Amino acid sequence: MKILAFESSCDETAVAVVEDGRKVLSDAIASQADMHALYGGVVPEIASRKHVEVIAALTEQALRQASCTREDIDAVAVTYAPGLIGAVLVGLSFAKSMAFALGVPLIPVHHVRGHIAANYLAFPELEPPFLALAISGGNTLIVDVRDYTDLHILGATRDDAAGECFDKAARVLGLPYPGGAPLDRLAQQSQGGVYRLPLSHVDGAPLDMSFSGLKTAVVNLAHHTQQVGEELDRAALARDFAQAVSDTLVPRAMEALRQTGRKVLCAAGGVAANSIIRGDLERACAKAGCRLYLPPLRLCGDNGAMIGAQGYYEYLAGHVADMSLNAYATRAIEAEINAD
């Protein structure tokens, strides 16, 4: 089954063709990062306009790279939530038109489900049940993946997402947007241990997280250093910050494994590309005797292939939609497609 998949939830326009949920035939991505870097973050209106400008040509590119014609497409999958509402609407509207014109099913896909499904593309042997640590610019979740379309949140951030916190810290350190990769490179220049940063604890919810205090602490520390005329050790702060994020995420993921009895953990999302977090997860899972799946860096960020992968399993579960499907800026990962 060949699925034409669309992803436009933020500042990447992505179109892919995926076969049977596991084989990537093409994955075309148009990034807007350089444009948004001028503003230090994503400007929603600009993102939406750029999606409109490139999505048609990108679709032709994806079909061409997959050596497919429109007649070869069996279904259309698309991110319908969550994300920047204008951006999501562009991809959804275009996907609707393609499904209608081709006379094929329209498959709605939750963006975070897509990130988790990226692991299916990298690891053909991976099957549920397993736990997923979904960490990106807009979401930070610990998810029990009971089956391909049966997912349950065990823990989540109460405020900022880990990726959002990375971008803010990077900006304070004078690094370009998006800040994850530059901050990671800067952190490798120090052993850290210079700055003491807070770790969150949510009373009564040991698997939940909070990153707003950490973000504020980095901002205040940088401002205080400047005000008193001291020199900021940028590399050390980058290292200590990344370690604080990892020390928030990894122990909770391991506790979730202990509570559920699962023996497999997957990472997913853009923050899963961070080398410190990846290293800490590897060591923790090795110590606990659990299997760890870390997606390759190219599948950590937003891409169309992950939507096609999850779309295949949504289709098998009967999760298809008609032309009344709406877009949502926020949506629980467990939500039914047609639930209001």
Q: Which two tokens stand for residue 334?
A: 């467990």
Mean model confidence pLDDT for the chain: 95
Q: Which helix (H) or strand (E) holds 301?
A: none
186 vs 244: CA distance, rounded Å: 15
Q: Count of domains in the chain?
A: 2
- Please check whether residue 194 is in contact with residue 230, taking contact to mean a CB–CB distance below 8 angstroms: no
Tens digits of residue pLDDT in 292-307: 999 999 999 999 999 9
Is 310's pLDDT higher than 80? yes
Q: What is the pTM of this model?
A: 0.94
153 vs 161: CA distance, rounded Å: 15
- Please check whether residue 146 is in contact with residue 128, taking contact to mean a CB–CB distance below 8 angstroms: yes
- Please check whether residue 225 is in contact with residue 173, taking contact to mean a CB–CB distance below 8 angstroms: no
Other residues' Cβ atoms within 10 Å of the Cβ of residue 161: 23
| pLDDT bracket for residue 232 (50, 70, 90) | very high
Tens digits of residue pLDDT in 169-211: 999 999 988 889 999 999 999 999 999 999 988 889 999 999 9
Based on the fold, state whether residues 100 and 139 are members of the same structural domain. no
Based on the fold, state whether residues 162 and 96 are members of the same structural domain. no
Closest CA to 209 of 113, 129, 133, 267: 133
Question: Position of tokens 């999606």?
Answer: 51
Other residues' Cβ atoms within 10 Å of the Cβ of residue 298: 14
What CATH number is associated with residue 227?
Answer: 3.30.420.40
Sheet-wide strand order for 106-110: 23-31, 12-19, 2-7, 75-81, 106-110
pLDDT given for residue 42 in this prediction: 85
Residues present in the chain in total:
340
Based on the fold, state whether residues 308 and 234 are members of the same structural domain. no
With 0-12 CB in 10 A as exposed, 13-18 as middle and 19+ as buried, what is 336?
exposed
Angle between helices 275-288 and 234-260 (to 10 degrees): 30
Based on the fold, state whether residues 259 and 278 are members of the same structural domain. yes
Based on the fold, state whether residues 138 and 208 are members of the same structural domain. yes
Domain encompassing residue 168 = 125-299
Based on the fold, state whether residues 52 and 136 are members of the same structural domain. no
Based on the fold, state whether residues 129 and 66 are members of the same structural domain. no
- Across 54-58, 165-169, 331-335, the highest mean pLDDT is recorded for 54-58
Within-domain flag for 274: yes
Based on the fold, state whether residues 73 and 147 are members of the same structural domain. no
Within-domain flag for 162: yes
Based on the fold, state whether residues 87 and 152 are members of the same structural domain. no
Based on the fold, state whether residues 136 and 112 are members of the same structural domain. no
Within-domain flag for 334: no
pLDDT given for residue 39 in this prediction: 79
Within-domain flag for 328: no
Within-domain flag for 183: yes
Q: Which helix (H) or strand (E) holds 90?
A: helix 85-102
Is 246's pLDDT higher than 80? yes
Based on the fold, state whether residues 139 and 280 are members of the same structural domain. yes
Based on the fold, state whether residues 191 and 274 are members of the same structural domain. yes
